[in-house]
Every structure is written in C-alpha cells, then in structure tokens.
Structure 1
Amino acid sequence: MYNGLLHAHSGIRYIALALMLIAILQGLIGWLTNKQFGKVHKRIINLNMGVFVAQLVIGITLYIISSKVLFDPAMFKSTLLRFYTLEHPLMMLIASIIVIHYSCKAKANSSYHTHKKLFISHTIALIIIVASIPWPFREQLGAGWF
C-alpha cells in the first residue's frame, strides 16, 4: 500500500506541475490582455485545485504511515528525517492552501483582476512547490523520478 501511494503521489506531481504552469500562463495572458475570467478559466482552475486536493490527501496519508517521518529531537540532526517530517509537509501545505484559497476566490469573482491575483498566487505557490519537492538530484533525500 505504501509503495503504491508513494508512486501515485510522485507521479501526480507532474500533472500538478503541468496544470500549475497552464494556470500561471492563463493568468498572465488574461492579466496582460484584460480578459474577462470565463468558463474555460474556471475549468482549468477547478482541475488544478482538484489535483492539489488529491495530492494533499495522498500526502497526508503517506505522512501518517511513512517510516521517514519521526517525531524525535534527533530528527533535526538528519537531513532526510527533517525534510520528510517537517520541511516538505509544511511547505506543501502552505502551497496547497495558497492554491486552494485563491482558486476558490476566483470562482466567485469573474473580473479581469482575477487573472492578476491567480498569476501572482500560483507563481508563489509554484516556487514553494519546486523548492520542496524531493527531486532525484537531491541525493541526500533518496527520492526517484516516480
């Protein structure tokens, strides 16, 4: 069960990143061209938010059952344990809250200013996400591409 959830969580991240980039580009184009926030925009935002909620649920489940999560003062001395116990979950929770909050606000508001808010908030969330993903080239974290 753990390996299946871990692979799902790792694989869905690419979908989440792709949707995030689409939402950012859509927000930038809408902001610069003063477009009204319409149905197509809402669909992308809803899909993006849905993927983030799914990632959040899988991530919380992994957090509960993972052997890489340790609640002990010694956790701060280990890069691997500190990352998976504190840094990754906290940063991803913050990014998810930003995405979900501004996506919900965008559904209620349909002015062209919505594009600017979504562009800025999603860009901040993307920076947080990219910084806190355990990429394979971060060798001390021991993660793979999937």
Structure 2
Amino acid sequence: MNMNTAVDHGLSVDGNVTGDAAALACKRIGELAEEFGVTLRTLRFYEDKGLLNPIRDGNMRLYTHRDQVRLKLVLMGRKVGFSLREVKQMMDLYEPDGSNVRQLKVTLEKSEKQMARLQSQRVAIDEAIGELSDAIGAVRSMLEHRAAGSATGQ
C-alpha cells in the first residue's frame, strides 16, 4: 500500500491506524504470510519472540499496519544478517512521540558492525571462489589429459 493510499484510508503518516481504516489496514495471518512470502509458523514464531503483536479476535490474529511495518523490518534485518535479538533490540528502542536518537545511534552502530562482518565474509568468499576455480581447472586438465591418453591407446 503506498502512502497516498494509506492516508486516503485513514492511516496517519507515522503508520497509526485511525477510524474505520483500522479494519481495512488489518490483515489476517494467511494474508500477511502470503504478502511477505513467509509461513504461518514464522509469523507465530515472531509473535512468540515479541517482534509482532497482533490483535486477537478469538482464535484469529489481526495484524495492524504497525505489525506489517515491523515484519518488513524483521525480514530486512534477517536478510542483511542481523539476529532476531538484534532486530528486536533496535525496534524496541522506538519511541512513537520521541526523537529516537538512541534508536538511530544503536541502529547505526549495529549496521556498521554488520557491514564490516559482511565485507570480511565477502573477502573470504572471493578467496574460496578463487581456490575452487583453480581446483576445478586442475581437475578438468587431468580429465582432458586422461581422455587424450586413452584416445591414443595409452
């Protein structure tokens, strides 16, 4: 949902749902799972870990716009290699009516450390690719040499 559509339907810019838009903005677990390409079990797990806090209507879970934004942040954090614990620490520092300076500083610090880890891993992966490429070349050369030897009757 783009922000213009969200505002038209009663969602505030900060993601809070207002008025009749609450029902429109909420999604059931299956809808959210499909939209984000995750399993129902994953969503329940994130709820158990305190990353998501859906509204309960009997046995039905309703995920608000806030939950949807949090899920997007969780998935992005996981994609770049943060643990769920780190993602939760960063999200828990959010203050709806505050400047969030502490959250931003912690997020920047953790992001810079993760960037350094990823760059280090990239170097190691590049080295491994080079070594594997050399090994593949050597094996191909041996096979070609043996194939040429058997073709000449040796």
Q: Sort the TM-score into its range (normalised by shorter chain).
A: under 0.3
Which structure has the bigger radius of gyration? 2
More strand per residue: 2
- Higher RCO by CA contacts (8 Å cutoff, separation 6 or greater): 1
TM-score normalised by the chain length of structure 2: 0.27
More helix per residue: 1
